[in-house]
Amino acid sequence: MKSRAKIIAVLALIELLGACSGHKPVAQKAGTAAVKPQVQTNPIPYYLPPPIGQRTQEDILHIYGNYATHKLKPYFTKAKVSYPPRELTFIALKQEMKLELWARDSGEFQFIRNYDVQAASGVSGPKLRQGDKQVPEGIYRIEGLNPNSHYHLSMKINYPNEFDLFHAWQEGRSKPGSDIFIHGDAVSIGCLAMGDEAIEELFVLTAQVGAENVKVVIAPRDPRFYPLEADANLPEWTTELYSMISREIKALSPRVNSAKTGL
């Protein structure tokens, strides 16, 4: 009897060990459906930007659009201007090293915010010739957006415009210069260097509004506080140019002084 009991105990132990150590699949009960493994058939899409040199304006909007819009919208809300607006005006003040952003849907332009200009080479006075490293002065338009700039991003202004070309022709200046940009980084050889974060906002906003709806006014200083007067060493036509610039800036809003108080 004892030997028989031992045999039964050994067999029971072997069966128990097999049950604990095995990895056999559980038998499917009759009438139940098999559970399929979860397979992700529609992975979450992601954006991989092309390398610098191959980027388009659409790529820049994809990379920086949401972030720039998120940063700008509160300023537009405060000014009671929809985003994006219908028109923009950038006022660049060389002496103050500021660039003001103005916008409107209809009616008067409203002050939105200003930016510090990180670098602007040259001195007061219009640009006259290639290589003088002067930031031009006048009333311009954005004629192109460069998503592959050596200075992060850039926006080309239409210098020389008709006014510049006419006076260059009158004075026999065949090379008044070209390739003037508003760009990122903090280096200037005749351009307005805004830093990378600021140019991301300005680039995105200009792309959303349309470059044809953006005006750029560049002044030697703020004519709302200090009258623009041409030095004796500047061309005679500078007086006419400064009069045009002053009218353009002062016409933006009769409430400009109260708007600037909160800068």
Cβ partners under 8 Å of residue 43, min gap 6:
none
Q: Which residue in 129, 250, 239, 149 sits closest to 190, CA to CA? A: 129
> What distance in Å separates the CA atoms of residue 29 and residue 24, rounded to the nearest whole number?
15
Check 70, 150, 167, 191 and give the catalytic one: 191
Annotated catalytic residue within 62, 152, 167, 183: 183
Which burial class, exposed, middle or buried, applies to 50 when counting CB atoms under 10 A from its CB (0-12, 13-18, 19+)? exposed
Q: Does residue 53 come out as left (phi exceeding 0), alpha (psi in the -120 to 50 range) or beta?
A: left
Terminal-to-terminal C-alpha distance of the chain: 103
Alpha-carbon gap, residue 249 to 228, rounded angstroms: 12
Show the beta-strand stretches assigned E in 31-179: 87-93, 98-104, 110-116, 138-146, 154-157
CA angle at 54 for the pair 184 and 152, rounded to the nearest 5°: 10
For residues 53-84, b (16+ Cβ closer than 10 Å) or e, as one string?
eebebebbbebbbeebbeebeebbeebebebb
20 is catalytic: no
Active site residues: 183, 191
